[in-house]
Protein backbone atom coordinates (compact mmCIF):
# COMPACT_ATOMS: atom_id res chain seq x y z
CA UNK A 1 0.00 0.00 0.00
CA UNK A 2 1.37 3.40 -1.01
CA UNK A 3 1.05 6.34 1.43
CA UNK A 4 -0.64 8.62 -1.11
CA UNK A 5 -0.99 11.53 1.35
CA UNK A 6 2.79 11.46 1.78
CA UNK A 7 3.23 11.76 -1.99
CA UNK A 8 0.77 14.65 -2.12
CA UNK A 9 2.14 16.44 0.94
CA UNK A 10 5.87 15.95 0.45
CA UNK A 11 6.77 14.96 -3.08
CA UNK A 12 4.33 16.84 -5.31
CA UNK A 13 4.92 20.32 -3.84
CA UNK A 14 8.67 19.86 -4.22
CA UNK A 15 8.25 18.72 -7.83
CA UNK A 16 5.92 21.59 -8.63
CA UNK A 17 8.14 24.24 -7.08
CA UNK A 18 11.25 22.81 -8.76
CA UNK A 19 9.63 23.03 -12.21
CA UNK A 20 8.35 26.55 -11.51
CA UNK A 21 11.73 27.79 -10.23
CA UNK A 22 13.58 26.16 -13.13
CA UNK A 23 11.37 27.96 -15.64
CA UNK A 24 11.61 31.23 -13.74
CA UNK A 25 15.42 30.99 -13.56
CA UNK A 26 15.66 30.31 -17.29
CA UNK A 27 17.02 26.77 -17.00
CA UNK A 28 15.03 25.33 -19.91
CA UNK A 29 15.93 28.17 -22.27
CA UNK A 30 19.57 28.04 -21.15
CA UNK A 31 19.85 24.41 -22.20
CA UNK A 32 18.02 25.12 -25.47
CA UNK A 33 20.53 27.90 -26.15
CA UNK A 34 23.54 25.61 -25.64
CA UNK A 35 24.35 25.66 -21.93
CA UNK A 36 24.36 21.92 -21.44
CA UNK A 37 26.54 21.08 -18.42
CA UNK A 38 25.63 21.71 -14.81
CA UNK A 39 28.33 24.36 -14.59
CA UNK A 40 27.20 26.10 -17.81
CA UNK A 41 23.56 26.11 -16.71
CA UNK A 42 24.45 27.46 -13.26
CA UNK A 43 26.59 30.22 -14.72
CA UNK A 44 24.05 31.20 -17.40
CA UNK A 45 21.19 31.31 -14.89
CA UNK A 46 23.11 32.78 -11.95
CA UNK A 47 22.55 29.68 -9.81
CA UNK A 48 24.66 27.70 -7.38
CA UNK A 49 26.39 24.81 -9.23
CA UNK A 50 25.67 22.21 -6.51
CA UNK A 51 22.01 23.19 -6.26
CA UNK A 52 21.76 23.28 -10.06
CA UNK A 53 23.09 19.73 -10.23
CA UNK A 54 20.41 18.58 -7.79
CA UNK A 55 17.71 20.43 -9.73
CA UNK A 56 18.88 18.95 -13.02
CA UNK A 57 18.85 15.46 -11.51
CA UNK A 58 15.23 15.91 -10.46
CA UNK A 59 14.17 17.45 -13.77
CA UNK A 60 15.89 14.62 -15.64
CA UNK A 61 14.06 12.04 -13.53
CA UNK A 62 10.81 13.87 -14.34
CA UNK A 63 11.43 13.65 -18.09
CA UNK A 64 12.35 17.26 -18.86
CA UNK A 65 15.95 16.43 -19.78
CA UNK A 66 18.10 13.54 -20.87
CA UNK A 67 21.63 13.21 -19.59
CA UNK A 68 24.64 11.71 -21.34
CA UNK A 69 28.35 12.10 -20.65
CA UNK A 70 28.01 15.22 -18.51
CA UNK A 71 25.57 17.09 -20.73
CA UNK A 72 21.84 17.71 -20.55
CA UNK A 73 19.46 17.89 -23.49
CA UNK A 74 15.83 18.96 -23.49
CA UNK A 75 13.27 16.27 -24.17
CA UNK A 76 10.67 16.82 -26.89
CA UNK A 77 8.05 17.46 -24.17
CA UNK A 78 10.17 20.11 -22.43
CA UNK A 79 11.07 21.81 -25.70
CA UNK A 80 7.40 22.13 -26.69
CA UNK A 81 5.96 23.27 -23.35
CA UNK A 82 8.67 25.13 -21.38
CA UNK A 83 10.62 27.31 -23.82
CA UNK A 84 9.56 30.96 -23.79
CA UNK A 85 9.11 31.39 -27.51
CA UNK A 86 7.57 28.10 -28.58
CA UNK A 87 4.01 28.56 -29.92
CA UNK A 88 2.40 26.14 -27.45
CA UNK A 89 4.64 26.97 -24.50
CA UNK A 90 3.12 27.23 -21.03
CA UNK A 91 6.04 29.35 -19.82
CA UNK A 92 3.75 32.29 -19.04
CA UNK A 93 1.63 30.09 -16.79
CA UNK A 94 4.74 28.75 -15.04
CA UNK A 95 5.92 32.30 -14.34
CA UNK A 96 2.51 33.43 -13.08
CA UNK A 97 2.15 30.38 -10.85
CA UNK A 98 5.62 30.83 -9.39
CA UNK A 99 5.56 34.58 -8.83
CA UNK A 100 1.89 35.22 -8.06
CA UNK A 101 -0.09 32.06 -7.31
CA UNK A 102 2.45 30.26 -5.12
CA UNK A 103 2.38 33.00 -2.44
CA UNK A 104 -1.43 32.91 -2.53
CA UNK A 105 -1.35 29.29 -1.41
CA UNK A 106 -0.33 30.50 2.04
CA UNK A 107 -3.81 32.04 2.32
CA UNK A 108 -5.68 28.81 1.62
CA UNK A 109 -6.10 28.08 5.33
CA UNK A 110 -7.67 31.49 5.87
CA UNK A 111 -10.05 30.89 2.97
CA UNK A 112 -11.09 27.54 4.43
CA UNK A 113 -11.86 29.22 7.77
CA UNK A 114 -13.60 32.33 6.45
CA UNK A 115 -14.83 31.42 2.98
CA UNK A 116 -13.49 34.73 1.71
CA UNK A 117 -11.43 34.34 -1.43
CA UNK A 118 -8.73 36.55 -2.86
CA UNK A 119 -10.71 38.08 -5.76
CA UNK A 120 -7.39 38.40 -7.50
CA UNK A 121 -8.60 40.23 -10.61
CA UNK A 122 -9.25 43.23 -8.37
CA UNK A 123 -5.93 43.11 -6.51
CA UNK A 124 -3.20 42.42 -9.06
CA UNK A 125 -0.56 45.12 -9.33
CA UNK A 126 0.78 46.07 -12.77
CA UNK A 127 3.51 43.43 -12.78
CA UNK A 128 1.17 40.70 -11.53
CA UNK A 129 -1.39 41.70 -14.16
CA UNK A 130 1.32 41.29 -16.81
CA UNK A 131 2.12 37.79 -15.49
CA UNK A 132 -1.60 36.99 -15.47
CA UNK A 133 -1.97 38.05 -19.10
CA UNK A 134 1.05 35.94 -20.06
CA UNK A 135 -0.52 33.00 -18.24
CA UNK A 136 -3.81 33.40 -20.10
CA UNK A 137 -1.97 33.51 -23.44
CA UNK A 138 -0.08 30.36 -22.43
CA UNK A 139 -3.27 28.59 -21.41
CA UNK A 140 -5.10 29.44 -24.61
CA UNK A 141 -2.07 28.84 -26.82
CA UNK A 142 -1.62 25.34 -25.50
CA UNK A 143 -5.32 24.54 -25.89
CA UNK A 144 -6.29 26.38 -29.08
CA UNK A 145 -4.84 23.85 -31.52
CA UNK A 146 -6.55 20.93 -29.79
CA UNK A 147 -9.82 22.83 -29.52
CA UNK A 148 -9.65 23.89 -33.15
CA UNK A 149 -9.23 20.29 -34.25
CA UNK A 150 -12.19 19.07 -32.20
CA UNK A 151 -14.82 21.81 -32.45
CA UNK A 152 -17.59 21.01 -34.91
CA UNK A 153 -17.57 23.43 -37.83
CA UNK A 154 -20.86 23.91 -39.69
CA UNK A 155 -20.85 22.96 -43.38
CA UNK A 156 -21.59 26.54 -44.57
CA UNK A 157 -18.44 27.77 -42.78
CA UNK A 158 -16.36 24.99 -44.33
CA UNK A 159 -17.72 26.09 -47.71
CA UNK A 160 -16.49 29.63 -47.05
CA UNK A 161 -19.87 31.22 -46.37
CA UNK A 162 -20.07 33.84 -43.65
CA UNK A 163 -21.91 33.10 -40.46
CA UNK A 164 -22.01 34.25 -36.85
CA UNK A 165 -20.48 32.85 -33.71
CA UNK A 166 -21.03 33.97 -30.13
CA UNK A 167 -17.93 33.76 -27.93
CA UNK A 168 -18.93 33.59 -24.28
CA UNK A 169 -16.14 34.03 -21.75
CA UNK A 170 -13.35 33.45 -24.24
CA UNK A 171 -10.93 35.90 -22.60
CA UNK A 172 -8.46 36.99 -25.23
Mean pLDDT computed over 28-50: 97
- The region of weakest confidence among 53-67, 75-89, 147-161 is 147-161
What is the SS3 assignment for 116? coil
> Residue 156: its pLDDT value, please?
84
- The region of weakest confidence among 60-64, 68-72, 100-104, 118-122 is 118-122
* Higher pLDDT pick, 91 / 136: 91
> Quick one: 129 exposed, middle or buried, by C-beta within 10 A (0-12, 13-18, 19+)?
middle
* Mean per-residue pLDDT over the chain, rounded: 91
The rounded distance, in Å, linking the Cα atoms of 30 and 27 is 5
What is the SS3 assignment for 74? strand
Decide: pTM greater than 0.85: no
Is the pLDDT at 137 greater than 90? The verdict is: no
Amino acid sequence: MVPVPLLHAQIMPVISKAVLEAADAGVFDAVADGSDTTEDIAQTCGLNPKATGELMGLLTALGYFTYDSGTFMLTKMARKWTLKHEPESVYGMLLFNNRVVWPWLEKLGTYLKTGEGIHYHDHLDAQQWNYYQQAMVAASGSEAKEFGQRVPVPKPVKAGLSTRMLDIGGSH
